[in-house]
Structure 1
Amino acid sequence: MRPHRRHQYGPAEDSSRYPKHYSCTSFKDIQDLLNEDPISLPDSPRRPSLLHRARSSSVYSPRAAAVSSGIFSAVDIPNAGHGGVVLYFTSLRIVRKTFEECRTVRSILRGYRIQIDERDLSMDSKFQDELQEIFGTKKVSLPKVFIGGRYIGGTEEIKQMQESDELMKMIGELEPSDGTYAGICGECGGQRFVLCELCNGSHKIFSKYGFKSCTACSVYGLVRCPACFPAYRRRTSP
């Protein structure tokens, strides 16, 4: 038996069987790939200033469309008739990043020695309800800062405004503070909370029907210091 010989094609037959530009349906033509023009990336837009972003950006669904226009929009904050600085934060260390950001913003604001209405969500869950009412959502990050009845922002906005002196300018436009929130209170020691006088911190009140929960304090038996917050004296009075 003659051995099987591999068929060899001549130059003419080889060129006709295998074209010069070979293409495959599974892969892109290498020659076309090399001839393609490089993709030109668009120029990154210039980062707008904080004031421009404050006027043009929108945040959460607001309370009665109060915060829909973005940062610096007027907000109806519960129990904030003083018109000063309101800070929603937490003192718990459960989430380290949130705790560090809250401590940073709190330290920045306290450095101006101004009127600060500090609302610690870890001390009273009613502050969480206030934030949900303001922003219209349960997912609200901390901290949140309001100055003069306007929503300012969180950690990033406060840091940028401090570096550009915008924060000092905005604070300077507030009414003069009587120093109620800036100093150390002799009644609460600067903690802004005291034991409830109605239940003596037990969060329970005895009635003819038995024990019931105290409605004047938080679940921890604490109320806001009446010396720091005179508006809360009526709530804690028997």
Structure 2
Amino acid sequence: MCSWWARFCCFFTTSLRGVRKTFEDCRRVRFLLENHKASFRERDVSMDCEYKEEMWRLLGEQVTPPRLFIKCKYIGGADEVVSLNENEKLKKLLEVFSSAKSRQCEMCENERFLICSKCNGRSRVVAEHETWKRCIECNENGLVKCALCT
């Protein structure tokens, strides 16, 4: 189910500000991860619906971010992560992911996505007879995942 995750700290988040509490909860969890100098895989559900579906599939229900997984184990949402931090248990969980300095991806500058070069971010390409069809290279936002850091 999450075989490649066995080596990672994975954080499901959103960059949309539509629901203030959700956005602030995501910022709080990201702040804690960064404060502990943990390297983590960030999955922004607002940037790619596959991430949202993956999060729902892993948890068996339709939940909102933030959601944190460490080595395939579900840790919790914002309240659980903040509580673990206050009880000094989060540091222990993140020790294995500690990095002295955070690296910036040379390809996407840690945005984790790039504009699709096939459709230039339009999510569609001209097909036969001057009609448009969905670009198969990118997601619904006209973005492709960075090959170096995702």
Q: Report 1:144-159 matches (<5 A).
A: 144-159=67-82
Query: Taking every aligned residue pair, what percent have the same amino acid on both sides?
Result: 35
Query: What SS does structure 2 have at the residue aligned with 1:194?
Result: strand
Distance 1:89 1:175, change over 3 A: closer
Shift of 1:130: 0.8
The aligned counterpart of 1:101 is 25
Shift of 1:100: 0.5
**Among residues 202, 216, 221, which one is paired with 2:142 in the alignment?**
221
**How far, CA to CA, are the matches of 1:106 and 1:163 in structure 2?**
15
Q: Which has the higher helix share?
A: 2
The aligned counterpart of 2:41 is 117
Shift of 1:204: 1.2
Shift >3 Å, 4+ stretches = 174-177, 206-210
Gaps of 5+ in 2: none
**How far, CA to CA, are the matches of 1:148 and 1:166 in structure 2?**
16
- Deviation string 1:16-48 (CA, Å, 9 cap, x unpaired) is xxxxxxxxxxxxxxxxxxxxxxxxxxxxxxxxx
Aligned residues: 149
The aligned counterpart of 1:186 is 106
Shift of 1:208: 3.4
Q: Report 1:49-198 matches (<5 A).
A: 76-77=1-2, 80-81=4-5, 83-138=7-62, 140-172=63-95, 174=96, 182-198=102-118
Query: What SS does structure 1 have at the residue aligned with 2:43?
Result: strand
Shift of 1:144: 0.3
**How far, CA to CA, are the matches of 1:119 and 1:90 in structure 2?**
8
Shift of 1:82: 6.2
**How far, CA to CA, are the matches of 1:224 and 1:135 in structure 2?**
23
Shift of 1:175: 6.5
After TM superposition, the score normalised by the length of structure 1 is: 0.56
Gaps of 5+ in 1: 1-75, 230-238
Shift of 1:176: 7.3
Q: Which has the higher strand share?
A: 2
Contact 2:11–2:66 under 8 Å retained in 1: yes
- Deviation string 1:70-121 (CA, Å, 9 cap, x unpaired) is xxxxxx338x446211111111111111111110001111122222111111
